[in-house]
Structure 1
């Protein structure tokens, strides 16, 4: 059953190493300008420097994708900030970043960046991977869906229409893919900047969500944005790890960020 949670905020708490999630965002850009973008890793929507010991999670950097191909962005300034190497043309793009698969195990001392074989008395382990995408529209909005490009993330939220064509209260259809195939019965949640202003830094809670629904047999779901602004949709999916003595599960976290106009 669909749950529109604007009346009662739902704060999701999961037994996981990841209170922090990855998202991607970009600054408003005109045709012929340098595209500036950021990797969010912390409390949405606040940007903060990535801890030095975690920078290697993001060794793939950021990539800008459209029907013409891909281009890697250049890291500049703050370690979460990236820019295009050259001015961008008008059109619609997908901006993407990855947090590479990393072992996290827990024992009585806390969380360790290692598998269970290298964490004495570990009680839990997950191989964490995160994927972030942002829809970028530069210049006049494109009517056809130029943002349905599949980036190739293990877990991916793919828009079936350009969110630039969606108005408040209209249905925004997306499909959730796992290993390139539609993922049924997956819970997709969504929230927007300003919906939850709680300080969750010490509570290990994910921010409250304004929308929740489950994908159908074809992997699709309709997000219903009930207000304008900067939105983030999220999906989490887990599978058993191949060697239970080493780790218990693979856990994948995917986000899609987009703007809904007034």
Structure 2
């Protein structure tokens, strides 16, 4: 049953190593312009520089086009800013970020980037990996699904079945959740938008409140209901037992899909 939260805030609680999630954003781009994108890792929707000690966890952003995957250049004032190497023509693309598999363990002193063989007194350990995809419609008339609806082969992936440029406020935006390339049923997908949760979470590091929540069907699909225009982030997470219990307890995978509902002009 669809659960659309308007008045009440739905707060996501999980035993994750941190509330940080990876998400990706791209500036509104006209055909023939350089595409500029940002790698989000912190308190959505704010961007913040990635700590030097964690830079090695992240792969460079890539742009998925008809001709394949093109690496973006880390360029700008901050280390989360990227640009395409050359101007991008009109079309619908994916901008993709990835956080490589990383062990995080917790003991009485807190979290550390170690497994349970390194942290002997760990009370919890997970191998964390994250993926972020952003639907970038370059040019005002772009609304194709040819590229964006093609799975990328991520361990956990949210695949849009339509282009959000075709979706109006209050209409269903159907997506499919895949795990190891197969539909993942009965998993919760949440979504929120820039401006829904304006609380200060810089100290609590809690995941932002969500504006939408629903569970995938047997075919892995779910329809997001965007209640307003703006920048949206859908999120799904899935945990399984780690292959070697003496090394770590859980394999935790997090995936986001970001998109615009309604046109934005800059």
- Distance in 2 (CA, whole Å) between partners of 1:37 and 1:80 is 8
Counterpart in 2 of 1:168? 169
| Equivalence map 1:94-243=2 (5 Å) | 94-146=94-146, 147-243=148-244
Counterpart in 1 of 2:62? 63
Displaced runs of 4 or more, over 6 A: none
Is the CA contact (8 Å cut-off) linking 1:96 and 1:151 kept in structure 2?
Answer: no
Q: After superposing the two structures, state which structure 1 stretch, 48-57 or 69-78, moved more.
A: 69-78
Q: After superposing the two structures, state which structure 1 stretch, 150-159 or 189-198, moved more.
A: 150-159
After superposition, the C-alpha distances for 1:131-150 in whole angstroms (9 at most, x for unaligned) are 00000001143454122121
Is the CA contact (8 Å cut-off) linking 1:67 and 1:149 kept in structure 2?
Answer: no
Report deviation, 1:66. 2.5
Report deviation, 1:247. 0.2
Partner of 1:53: helix, strand, or coil?
A: helix
- Alignment TM-score, normalising by the size of structure 2: 0.96
- Distance in 2 (CA, whole Å) between partners of 1:67 and 1:32 is 16
Is the CA contact (8 Å cut-off) linking 2:43 and 2:205 kept in structure 1?
Answer: no
After superposition, the C-alpha distances for 1:59-82 in whole angstroms (9 at most, x for unaligned) are x20111133311110001211111
Is the CA contact (8 Å cut-off) linking 2:74 and 2:83 kept in structure 1?
Answer: yes
Instruction: Structure 2 unaligned segments of length 5 or more: list them.
Output: none
Counterpart in 1 of 2:49? 49
- Alignment TM-score, normalising by the size of structure 1: 0.97
Q: After superposing the two structures, state which structure 1 stretch, 150-159 or 42-51, moved more.
A: 150-159
Report deviation, 1:119. 0.5
Report deviation, 1:204. 2.6
Q: Tell me whether 1:28 sits opposite 2:28 in the alignment.
A: yes
Name the count of aligned residue pairs: 261
CA RMSD, 1 decimal: 1.0
- Distance in 1 (CA, whole Å) between partners of 2:179 and 2:65 is 21
Is the CA contact (8 Å cut-off) linking 1:191 and 1:232 kept in structure 2?
Answer: yes
- Distance in 1 (CA, whole Å) between partners of 2:136 and 2:113 is 34
Counterpart in 2 of 1:72? 71
Instruction: Structure 1 unaligned segments of length 5 or more: list them.
Output: none
